[in-house]
Amino acid sequence: MIGNVILVGAGPGDPGLLTRKGRWAIRQAQVVVYDRLVSPAILALIPAGARTIDVGKEASHHKVPQHEINEILLREAQAGYRVVRLKGGDPFLFGRGGEELELLKAHGIPFEVVPGVTSALSVPAYAGIPVTHRDFCSSLHIITGHAKAGAELKIDFGALCRTQGTLVFLMGVTALPMICEGLLKAGMDPAMPAAVVERGMTPRQRKLVSTLGELPQAARAARIESPAIIVVGKVCQLSDQFDWFDALPLKGRTVVVTRPKDRAGTLSKKLRALGAEVVEYPCIETVERAENPALDAAMEQLGHYRWLVFTSPAGPEIFMERLWKRGLDARALAGVKLAAIGPKTAGALGRCGLRADLVPEVYDSDHLAKALEAVEGPVLLCRASRGSQALPELFSARGIPFDDIPCYDTVYESPDAGAVLPLLEGETWVTFTSASTVRGFVQSLPGADLSHVLGLCIGEQTAREARTHGLTVRVAREATMESLVELIRETGAGE
C-alpha cells in the first residue's frame, strides 16, 4: 500500500500557534521529517511510536541537501508510511515546500498541505509591529535576503521603494548592510524607521528599533544573529507603543519545572504565558502499587472507617479506579467522610463525583493534621509511601485509630542533567511542588553546585526540605499552583 505525505507548517515555535490540523497531522504520523527551525515543544507532540528524521542537523556544517530530503519523503511514502514533513513557519514561504512536492507529484504520491503561521507576520507581531496600518502604508512585501556566498542580492530596490509599503526581509542578517544600502541608494529616506528582531517570539527574543541609515551599525553592535527578521517601514515606529511580549513579567527568565511529566503541563503553560522559558525536568513520578493487599483489605470494610484522607490528586484517582476494579463503586463510601489536603485533591475527588467534607485552610500536612484533630476514628490514610509523619503522629498522640496505607510510590526519575547543568552557573529558578521533587532534583545532580538555585516552593514543607539541601527558597502564600505561579510572577517583577 502506498503512503502519503502531509506538508505541515509548524508555525514559529510556540505550540499554541500550531494549527489544529497541523497537530492532528503530527499525531497520526508514522514518520516525521523535520527541520532546524521546528521547536522542541512541537517535536514533543510526535507520537512515541513514530520514527523521526532530522534533516536540519548540520553534520560537519552540511545540512541534508534538498534533493536528498525530497528522496527521503518519496522513499518513506513509497514504503507505505504516513509521512509528515514538518517545516518552520509556513511550508511554502521560503520553505522549499514546492520543490518537495514536485518529486512526490511525479511519482503519484498523494499529498496535502497544512499552512502554518509564518514568522514573516508573527515575529513582527510579537515585536509590537503591525505589518500594515492605514495611516502608514497600503501594502506589505516579503523578501528573501539570502544570497549565495559572494554573490550580489537580486533585489529590485527601486521597485520596493516605489511601493511605499512595509518591507519584511527573511534570511537577511548577513546581507543587512547590503539591503539597507540598496534601499538608500534607491532613494529611501535614511530616517525611515527600521527594526530587526532576533529569535522572535521566543523567551530570548531581542528587538532593535532604529532607522534605515543606522540599523546595520546597531545590529553589528548588538551582535544580532540568525534567525532574525528585518522590518523596514513607518509601522516600526509603533513598536514601543505596542510592545507587549518583551514586557511580559517573566520574559527572558528560564524556569525549571520538576513536576512529574504527566502533571507538568498546566504549570509550564502558565509560566510560558508569562514569557518564561520553561525547562521541563521531571524529577519524580507517581507509580500505583500493582499489588496492594492492605488497601484491598481496607476496601472490603470501608464502612468501618469514619474518615478517608487523601494528600494528593493521585490518591482519589488511584483509589477509585481500584475500587471500581474490585466490582465496587462510590456507594461503598456512603457514610465515610472525605478529607483532601487542598483544592486540587478536592477537584480530583470531584471528578469522581465525590465532595470533600474537609479541606484545611492552609494546604499542607501540618494543617490537615490540625483540621483533623477533633475527628473520631477510624481514619484511613490513602497516600504515598514515605509521606509526611505529621498525620500518623497526630493520630497516635490523640489515640485516634488509623490505617496508613501506601497507595502509590513516588519514584525518582533520572532526567537529563545536561538540560539543567549549564543553567546552574547563574541564578537558576527551580519550582518545587513537593518535598519529593526537591529530593529528586538534588539526587539527579550529584556533586553539582546548587548555591545559585532559587527554589520556588509550593509550601512550607517543601521549603523545609529545600533548605536542608542549602537552597535559597521563596514560598508561595497558599500551597496551590495558582499561588506558586503568583510567587514566580512576583519574583520576576522584583517584588
Which stretches of the chain bind ligand SAH, using CB under 6 A?
A: 12-13, 37, 87-90, 93-95, 118-120, 123, 170-171, 197, 199-202, 226-229
Q: Nearest approach, Cβ of 47 to ligand SAH (angstroms)? A: 24
Q: What is the distance between the alpha carbons of residues 466 and 247, in angstroms, rounded to a whole number?
A: 31
SS3 state at 495: coil
- 35 catalytic? Reply is yes
Q: Nearest approach, Cβ of 226 to ligand SAH (angstroms)? A: 5
Q: What is the distance between the alpha carbons of residues 402 and 413, in angstroms, rounded to a whole number?
A: 31
CB closer to ligand SAH, 98 vs 303: 98
Q: What is the distance between the alpha carbons of residues 125 and 255, in angstroms, rounded to a whole number?
A: 25
> Could you tell me the sign of the dihedral formed by the alpha carbons of 162, 166, 170, 174, in that order?
positive
Are 459 and 406 contacting, i.e. CB atoms less than 8 angstroms apart? no
Q: What is the distance between the alpha carbons of residues 489 and 485, in angstroms, rounded to a whole number?
A: 6
Among the listed residues 14, 21, 54, 57, the single catalytic one is 57
Of the candidates 53, 48, 2, 44, the one whose C-alpha atom is nearest the C-alpha of residue 23 is 44
Q: Nearest approach, Cβ of 420 to ligand SAH (angstroms)? A: 24
- 90 catalytic? Reply is no
Alpha-carbon radius of gyration of the chain: 28
Q: Nearest approach, Cβ of 118 to ligand SAH (angstroms)? A: 3
CB closer to ligand SAH, 230 vs 476: 230
Among the listed residues 14, 21, 35, 240, the single catalytic one is 35
CB closer to ligand SAH, 130 vs 378: 130
Strands of the sheet containing 4-9, edge to edge, are 51-54, 31-34, 82-87, 4-9, 111-114
SS3 state at 127: coil
Q: Nearest approach, Cβ of 22 to ligand SAH (angstroms)? A: 13
SS3 state at 186: coil
CB closer to ligand SAH, 229 vs 318: 229
Q: Nearest approach, Cβ of 120 to ligand SAH (angstroms)? A: 6
CB closer to ligand SAH, 167 vs 473: 167
Residue, CB closest to ligand SAH: 89
Q: Where does residue 471 rank: exposed (0-12), middle (13-18), buried (19+ CB within 10 A)?
A: buried
CB closer to ligand SAH, 199 vs 489: 199
Are 412 and 440 contacting, i.e. CB atoms less than 8 angstroms apart? yes
CB closer to ligand SAH, 197 vs 453: 197
- C-alpha cell at position 217: 551599525
Q: What is the distance between the alpha carbons of residues 461 and 174, in angstroms, rounded to a whole number?
A: 53
**Backbone conformation region of residue 171, classed left if phi is above 0, alpha if psi is from -120 to 50, else beta:** left
- Provide CB contacts within 8 A for 442, sequence distance 6+: 450, 469
Q: Nearest approach, Cβ of 100 to ligand SAH (angstroms)? A: 12
Give the residue numbers marked as catalytic. Answer: 35, 57
